[in-house]
């Protein structure tokens, strides 16, 4: 009976956390999305280090080690992918060189030579 109660409590916490997370993230303006994503990736890096530490200390069997390795692989993919997406988003905010100045300079050099 205790196991069912604990499972129900943990499931309720998971559902509520997911709902609250969705509501909070949906209200974040676009200008704050990139900094928040970078911060989340940094936090996930700490979680990944914790997973690596647990793998080093795990002596509970092969199944647990396999699950930990899979979790670490997915965490690594999440971190790398998140930083790549953040980098692409930051590239969108950089100013692009003006074409008019580059075209006129190159055209003037060709005519003068």
What digits encode the pLDDT tens for the residues 27-55?
888 777 767 777 777 777 888 888 788 77
In the chain, where the domains are located:
2-93
Q: Is the pLDDT of residue 13 over 90?
A: yes
Token representation of residue 40: 């989340």
Q: What is the pLDDT of residues 56-80, one digit of tens each?
A: 776 677 887 788 888 888 888 888 8
Does the predicted model carry a pTM greater than 0.85? Answer: no
Token representation of residue 86: 């953040």
pLDDT, residue 74, reads: 85
pLDDT, residue 46, reads: 83
């Amino acid at each position: 009976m205790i196991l069912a109660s604990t499972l129900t409590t943990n499931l309720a916490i998971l559902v509520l956390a997911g709902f609250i997370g969705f509501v909070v993230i949906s209200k974040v303006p676009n200008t704050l999305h990139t900094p928040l994503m970078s911060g989340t990736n940094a936090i996930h890096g700490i979680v990944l280090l914790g997973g690596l530490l647990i793998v080093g200390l795990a002596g509970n069997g092969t199944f647990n080690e396999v699950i930990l390795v899979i979790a670490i692989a997915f965490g690594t993919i999440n971190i790398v992918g998140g930083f790549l997406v953040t980098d692409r988003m930051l590239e969108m905010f950089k100013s692009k060189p003006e074409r008019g100045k580059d075209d006129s300079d190159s055209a003037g050099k060709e005519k003068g030579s």
